[in-house]
Structure 1
Amino acid sequence: MASLSAFWRYGVVKTARKWRAAALSPLLAARGEAAVRSSYGVLMVPNWQDTTFRYCIFGTYGRDLADLLLGYPEDFVFVDIGANQGLYSLIAAQNPRCRRIIAFEPVPATHARLAANVALNDGAARTVLHPLAIADSAGEVTINVAADHTGTASLAGREGSSGAGDVTIRTINAPLVDPLLAGELPMFVKIDVEGLEAVVIAELAKTASFSRVAAIFYEVDDRWANAREIETRLRASGFTRFAKYGRGHHYDVLATRS
């Protein structure tokens, strides 16, 4: 029964949302609106040529993380690593228990859209934006960005990267990350960095702030990530519960402490 439910939610429904986005996007783009309200209730600056934007508008990503953020029951800080255009930072800001939002998005053009979207919605005063990527060293590196799908930008060096959209970004590692996360409230961390999740988690684990991380929602693609390796590292840091969201080789995991 569970597998049938997963097939329906992450196979049939998600595919239908993708088709709907493809069919309706040209019609909505023709309106020329200055801001578009997404299926998640937040406003976004139009970016219709981008698949990631269309998925945000039509709810293609589903409700899993959105509902976790909206329903978080105690005061917390949301840390959005790989924020892209800011969908989940904007959703977190809708929860009054979210006292602060710290978003990392290193690609300059995408970061500009993130900033514009934050300005459109409530919560801007609680949101801190960093044009940075978290990696195992600090400096400048090249990242490949697809013009029509910003959500696939990756530092992981996966096969098939064309190099056609290479841009230079800044990276920071644990010693530089730690002061950016300083505080007292528990943190809910989202990591979506297209294959570099294990590296980001390893750097977070080196910080003094990591003890305040209550939950991590991270993406896994079995084609280029080792889910067992990530879980083992997190268990060594005190995380004991792991819930899978999705099916097939590409899914998400919520890790929480006892």
Structure 2
Amino acid sequence: MLKGFFHYGVIKTARKTFWKPYSGLRSFLARKDGSPPKAGPTAYGVDMIQNWHDRTFVYCHAGIYGKFLANELSNFREPFAFVDIGANQGLYSLIAAKNPFCSEVVAFEPVSGTHSILEANITLSAQKSKIRTCKLGIAASPGAAQIRVPEGHSGMASLSPEQNLHAEKCRVETIETVSSDELGGLLPEEPTLFVKVDVEGLEEVVIRQLLDSEAGSRIKAIFYEVDNRWSKEDEIAAMLDRANFKEFTKVGFGHHFDVMAVRP
């Protein structure tokens, strides 16, 4: 508990305190210069387009998301494919693709502007041929849905009705969604799948669709986000337990944290 508080309550907060004004200055200078955003290195060893106005990029650049998932993806030592749901600008897709044991990456990102940045970041990677993008969301039923995207924080985009109601400035975009029936043809054929789910409150729905899909039995590990203000932590854990996920590792501290669930 004390270690988690120190790493996620103290260090992470201190980093945010430093990087918020710095990124604001970089964003101001970039707008004043008027030139297109440039590519540059991040704390995670991958290059990304420098969108200083977007908090999600700043967290990628500065390493604020921590090292747990990045290390898991880098150190996975059996043939696998990575499924990145809520890929945003592609940080974890880029990290996974660098692992020689990773045969393929499929990155789901439904928001138009963010998806464009994702594809631009992929072109920067020497492993770009491994990565395939899907401009789709995952929901309980296929079709069209409206997603809310807060200004200046693309990583908070959500289909959840409870999420982003507090945000002062949001735009709404209509996206295409798929469910379990369509997922089978979109996911990699590799026997072992490593999945990341970061969908801001819709984790239970997305994980259920994954487990119900043709590829459900091939999922070895699921890394997912929990925010107890709108996520159903116990229901997600029970659903995964019924699907024979037996090892659960909590990553983080407080009401907002991540969980790594692994099948034996």
Q: Secondary structure in 2 aligned to 1:208?
A: coil
Q: Secondary structure in 2 aligned to 1:47?
A: coil
Look up the match of 1:254. Answer: 260
Amino acid paired to 2:127 = G
Return the offset for 1:23.
Answer: 3.4
Amino acid paired to 1:231 = A
Look up the match of 2:243. Answer: 237
Return the offset for 1:95.
Answer: 1.0
Quick one: which of 9, 12, 15 aligns to 2:10? 12
Q: Distance in 2 between matches of 1:182 and 1:149?
A: 29
Q: Secondary structure in 2 aligned to 1:61?
A: coil
Q: Secondary structure in 1 aligned to 2:200?
A: coil
Amino acid paired to 2:14 = A
Is 24-33 or 220-229 further displaced after alignment?
24-33
Percent identical residues = 46
Amino acid paired to 1:103 = A
Q: Secondary structure in 2 aligned to 1:22?
A: helix
Return the offset for 1:147.
Answer: 2.0
Q: Distance in 2 between matches of 1:243 and 1:34?
A: 37
Q: Distance in 2 between matches of 1:182 and 1:207?
A: 12
Aligned residues: 256
- Do the aligned partners of 1:81 and 1:191 also contact (CA within 8 Å) in 2? yes
Q: Distance in 1 between matches of 2:101 and 2:125?
A: 16
Residue 74 (1) aligns with residue 72 (2): no
Q: Distance in 2 between matches of 1:13 and 1:254?
A: 21
Q: Distance in 2 between matches of 1:241 and 1:253?
A: 10
Task: From the superposition, tell whether residues 63 and 182 of structure 1 become closer, same or farther in structure 2 (CA, over 3 Å).
Answer: closer
Return the offset for 1:28.
Answer: 4.5
Quick one: which of 90, 97, 108 aligns to 1:104? 108
Q: Secondary structure in 2 aligned to 1:85?
A: coil
Q: How does 1:141-156 map to 2 (within 5 A)?
A: 141-156=145-160
Q: Distance in 2 between matches of 1:144 and 1:7?
A: 31
- Do the aligned partners of 1:107 and 1:131 also contact (CA within 8 Å) in 2? yes
Look up the match of 1:40. Answer: 44
Provide the TM-score with structure 2 as the length reference.
0.93
Q: Distance in 1 between matches of 2:250 and 2:43?
A: 23
Q: Distance in 2 between matches of 1:26 and 1:228?
A: 38
Provide the TM-score with structure 1 as the length reference.
0.95
Q: How does 1:1-258 map to 2 (within 5 A)?
A: 3-26=1-24, 28-29=26-27, 30=29, 34-158=38-162, 159-160=165-166, 164-258=170-264
Is 25-34 or 214-223 further displaced after alignment?
25-34
Amino acid paired to 1:179 = G
Write out per-residue CA displacement over residues 131-159 of structure 1, whole angstroms, 9 at most, x where no aligned residue: 00010011111111012001111101114
Gaps of 5+ in 2: none
Return the offset for 1:207.
Answer: 1.1
Q: Secondary structure in 2 aligned to 1:165?
A: strand
Return the offset for 1:182.
Answer: 4.4
Is 78-87 or 89-98 further displaced after alignment?
89-98
Q: Secondary structure in 2 aligned to 1:154?
A: coil
- Do the aligned partners of 1:144 and 1:161 also contact (CA within 8 Å) in 2? no
- Do the aligned partners of 1:52 and 1:151 also contact (CA within 8 Å) in 2? yes
Q: Distance in 2 between matches of 1:64 and 1:178?
A: 28
Alpha-carbon RMSD = 1.5
Amino acid paired to 2:58 = R
Return the offset for 1:27.
Answer: 5.1
Task: From the superposition, tell whether residues 86 and 248 of structure 1 become closer, same or farther in structure 2 (CA, over 3 Å).
Answer: same
